[in-house]
A and B are shown apart, each in its own frame.
Chain A
Amino acid sequence: SQQGEEDPQALSIQEGENATMNCSYKTSINNLQWYRQNSGRGLVHLILIRSNEREKHSGRLRVTLDTSKKSSSLLITASRAADTASYFCAPTSSGNTPLVFGKGTRLSVIA
């Protein structure tokens, strides 16, 4: 298993702005997943991008993957106060190895 490292550690933006957070990892992957955690709650799976994909969209979320640079980015467009949460990336090599999480990016969206 390998751990993704999210950057920045904290991000504060105004409502309506876009938020971008990045993830780096060390070894080759099968897929990379992004999760959101609202305060005191369990993680919620947002999006999964496979190693043969470069970009994926889901609603206001856009995820890119650059396997040559071993990095991914998560873009949240037109952010809302409800997007305030911690965001975690999880690079995955196989289904039998556990996800290891970093400290995440804490996003604050100010109304």
Chain B
Amino acid sequence: NAGVTQTPKFQVLKTGQSMTLQCAQDMNHEYMSWYRQDPGMGLRLIHYSVGAGITDQGEVPNGYNVSRSTTEDFPLRLLSAAPSQTSVYFCASSYTDLRRHYGYTFGSGTRLTVV
């Protein structure tokens, strides 16, 4: 199993550019989420989804859009990149049924720099 795959691993953007961070999982997990982590900080939740067609905002959603058209994919779109969005982005997935739940599986992250 590949688990949770994030692409790209590194990206440099200019202020105002847009881009999409990709996240794909092959475990048939219903739940997927995006976090950002700034230096020396914990993870902050951006958006999450409990199934295809359902998304919701987390703690820091401004400047980001998501969609969930399939169970496998949960892309994160930066609409107009700002230096404050320089961070490491992590995608995670899990089952929603707690009887099957064994914890979240995280991707290896996308390191984004906005100049």
Residues of A within 8 A of B (CB): 30-31, 33, 35, 40-45, 48, 88, 90, 92, 94-96, 98-104
Q: Mark B91-105, 1 if CB is under 8 A from A, else 0.
A: 010111110011111
B50: contacting residue among A31, A43, A96, A102, CB under 8 A: A96
Question: Could you jot down 16 A-B contacts, CB within 8 Å?
Answer: A40-B88, A41-B108, A41-B109, A42-B108, A43-B90, A45-B103, A88-B42, A92-B98, A95-B94, A95-B95, A95-B97, A96-B31, A98-B58, A99-B104, A100-B59, A103-B41
What's the nearest-Cβ distance from chain B to residue A55, in Å? 18
B104: contacting residue among A43, A96, A103, CB under 8 A: A43
Contact yes or no, B106 A43, CB < 8 A: yes
Residues of B within 8 A of A (CB): 30-31, 33, 35, 41-43, 45, 48, 50, 58-59, 88, 90, 92, 94-98, 101-109
Contact yes or no, A42 B98, CB < 8 A: no
A residues in contact with B43, CB < 8 Å: 43, 88, 101
What's the nearest-Cβ distance from chain B to residue A106, in Å? 9
Cα A35 to Cα B90 in complex, Å, equals 14
Cα A68 to Cα B102 in complex, Å, equals 23
Contact yes or no, A95 B92, CB < 8 A: no
A101: contacting residue among B42, B95, B108, B109, CB under 8 A: B42
Contact yes or no, A98 B45, CB < 8 A: yes
B residues in contact with A30, CB < 8 Å: 98
Cα A102 to Cα B105 in complex, Å, equals 18
**Extra inter-chain contacts (20) besides given A98-B31, A101-B35, CB under 8 Å:** A30-B98, A31-B101, A35-B104, A40-B88, A42-B107, A42-B108, A43-B92, A45-B102, A45-B103, A48-B101, A92-B101, A95-B30, A95-B31, A98-B45, A98-B58, A99-B104, A101-B42, A102-B42, A103-B41, A103-B42
* Shortest Cβ-Cβ A-B pairs, 8 listed: A45-B103, A95-B96, A42-B106, A101-B43, A103-B42, A43-B106, A98-B48, A101-B42
